[in-house]
Amino acid sequence: MKTLLTVVFCVISCASCYAQEISLGYTKESLFPVYQIGGYKVFPVGYNPSAPGTDPHGTPANHFPWLHPGGSPDGADESQFWSVKELKLPSPIVVRRSVMETPDWYTAMSDRGYSWTYPVGTVATLKFFDKELGEFSHHISTKVREGNGIDCWEGEEILLTKRVPVWYNSPDNCTDCHQDVGRHARSLEPKRHNYYFWNRGSDGRFSWHPFKDTDRTQRVGQRVEIRDSREIIFRK
């Protein structure tokens, strides 16, 4: 009887552990932004993969509206504003090896990479700060249905101040913006030489990634490994 009670207690305890919400916050300094290039490798955001002098950006990850959080313009003074991202997860994010989604015309040495899916009930919050105004806006997105992609999310903005920075454009709907820019990246045509499809993120979100050590090494063409952390389940 004692053994049975012990087993029941352990099962209930484990279930309650998994039911606990996982909360984490990060910035681009603590989770350095990278984009996948195939072959389970990444480039740091800001690195231009095109041949020298052939394209000013080389990939959507390096320019508006993908480069800065919340579609901030490329010319905004980053010394005057910053952002903090937060995730509240009802269960861990599932990461898998996958074939990277690319347009039909796109060719690469390898299209192997990783994709990840957030659990239903995930709340992603982007908090904007201005040096003069302080914390002025929250972009909040909630995953409301099963699947992988921005169609599974709903979003809103909460303005915390009456004034906003002159460069800031308030979005009508956060998820609509992500849907538009995500679709644009996927349907890019080779309008010019040496411009590549590579972009950040998965499941409709751009900033979070599961890769280990990218914030320290920032190496070009780094073959990545998945972090061992409580917010990740890696299904090989």
Per-residue confidence (pLDDT) for residue 5, from 0 to 100: 37
Residue 144 near residue 105, CB atoms below 8 Å: no
Per-residue confidence (pLDDT) for residue 107, from 0 to 100: 58
* Distance separating alpha carbons of residues 171 and 179, to the nearest angstrom: 13
User: What are residue 163's DSSP bridge partners?
Assistant: none
Per-residue confidence (pLDDT) for residue 149, from 0 to 100: 84
Per-residue confidence (pLDDT) for residue 22, from 0 to 100: 95
Reported as a single tens digit per residue, the pLDDT across 19-33 is: 579 999 999 888 999
* Distance separating alpha carbons of residues 59 and 204, to the nearest angstrom: 18
User: What are residue 38's DSSP bridge partners?
Assistant: 41
User: How many structural domains comprise the chain?
Assistant: 1
* Distance separating alpha carbons of residues 54 and 190, to the nearest angstrom: 13
Look-up of token digits 């313009």 = 73
What range defines the domain where residue 197 resides? 22-235
Residue 167 resides in a domain? yes
* Distance separating alpha carbons of residues 172 and 59, to the nearest angstrom: 26
Per-residue confidence (pLDDT) for residue 59, from 0 to 100: 84
Per-residue confidence (pLDDT) for residue 188, from 0 to 100: 59
| Band of residue 8 on the pLDDT scale cut at 50, 70, 90 | very low
* Distance separating alpha carbons of residues 113 and 63, to the nearest angstrom: 22
pLDDT at 95 over 90: yes
Reported as a single tens digit per residue, the pLDDT across 151-161 is: 899 988 899 99
Task: Give the pTM.
Answer: 0.82
Residue 13 resides in a domain? no
In this structure, of 28-37, 42-51, 65-74, the range with the lowest mean pLDDT score is: 65-74
Residue 114 resides in a domain? yes
32-36, 198-202, 212-216: range with highest mean pLDDT = 32-36
Residue 15 resides in a domain? no
Per-residue confidence (pLDDT) for residue 3, from 0 to 100: 43
Q: Which residue has the higher pLDDT, 147 or 9?
A: 147
Per-residue confidence (pLDDT) for residue 10, from 0 to 100: 41
Residue 8 resides in a domain? no
Per-residue confidence (pLDDT) for residue 236, from 0 to 100: 79
In this structure, of 41-45, 52-56, 68-72, 87-91, the range with the lowest mean pLDDT score is: 68-72
Reported as a single tens digit per residue, the pLDDT across 124-141 is: 999 999 989 999 999 999
Per-residue confidence (pLDDT) for residue 167, from 0 to 100: 80
Mean local confidence (pLDDT), 185-212: 77
pLDDT at 228 over 60: yes
Residue 91 resides in a domain? yes
Q: Give the 3-state secondary structure of the chain.
A: CHHHHHHHHHHHHHHHHHHCCEEEEECCCCCCCEEEEECCEEEECCCCCCCCCCCCCCCHHHCCCCCCHHHCCCCCCCCCEEEEEEEEECCCEEEEEEECCCCCCCCCCCCEEEEEECCCCCEEEEEEEECCCEEEEEEEEEECCCCCCHHHEEEEEEECCCCCCCCCCCCCCHHHHHHHHHHHHHCCCCCCCCCCCCCCCECCECCCCCECCHHHHCCCCEECCECCCCCEEEEC
Residue 212 resides in a domain? yes
Residue 14 resides in a domain? no
Per-residue confidence (pLDDT) for residue 108, from 0 to 100: 55
pLDDT at 7 over 50: no
pLDDT at 168 over 90: no
